[in-house]
């Protein structure tokens, strides 16, 4: 796990975000336990409070459940919810790309051609 100090994004959100991506991408399975709060804090050289805040964020989003004395484990993920999460991410990224294209002065046609080219490169 990589934590960047100068991004302006709080460390607990970086941790939660990385776990969230892993969970939604299926890299962490239902019932799998997250590293203990203390061990993750020690490994990342951060406060236990920061780690706890990250885990509480994941729990608030329904991605994990905390069990007293055992830690936090990954909840079952509804495939429809996963699809919606990914669709929202795609929409955010495309909206950002559209904005960047406007700033760069690209026409809609040029942007569509760029997307088409990138899609073809992914198929190879």
State pLDDT tens for residues 69-109.
999 999 987 667 777 877 888 999 999 999 999 999 999 99
pTM of the full structure: 0.67
62 backbone φψ class: left, alpha, beta (φ>0; ψ -120 to 50): left
Q: What is the pLDDT of residue 124?
A: 60
Residue 98 is predicted with a pLDDT of 94
User: Which structure tokens are listed for 106?
Assistant: 């690209």
How far apart are alpha carbons 18 and 23 in whole angstroms? 9
Give the Cα separation of 85 and 27 in Å (integer).
15
Contact (CB, 8 A) for 20 and 63:
yes
Q: How far is CA 10 from CA 54, 59, 98, in A?
A: 10, 17, 27
């Amino acid at each position: 796990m990589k934590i960047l100090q100068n991004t302006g994004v709080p460390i607990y959100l970086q941790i939660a975000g990385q776990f969230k991506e892993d969970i939604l991408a299926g890299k962490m399975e239902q019932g799998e336990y997250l590293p203990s709060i203390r061990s993750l804090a020690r490994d990342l050289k951060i406060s236990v409070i920061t780690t706890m805040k990250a885990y509480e964020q994941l729990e608030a989003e329904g991605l994990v459940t905390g069990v007293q004395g055992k830690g936090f484990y990954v909840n079952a993920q509804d495939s429809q919810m996963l699809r919606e999460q990914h669709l929202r991410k795609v929409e955010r990224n495309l909206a950002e790309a559209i904005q960047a294209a406007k700033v760069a002065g690209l026409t809609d046609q040029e942007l569509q051609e760029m997307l088409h080219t990138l899609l073809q490169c992914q198929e190879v």
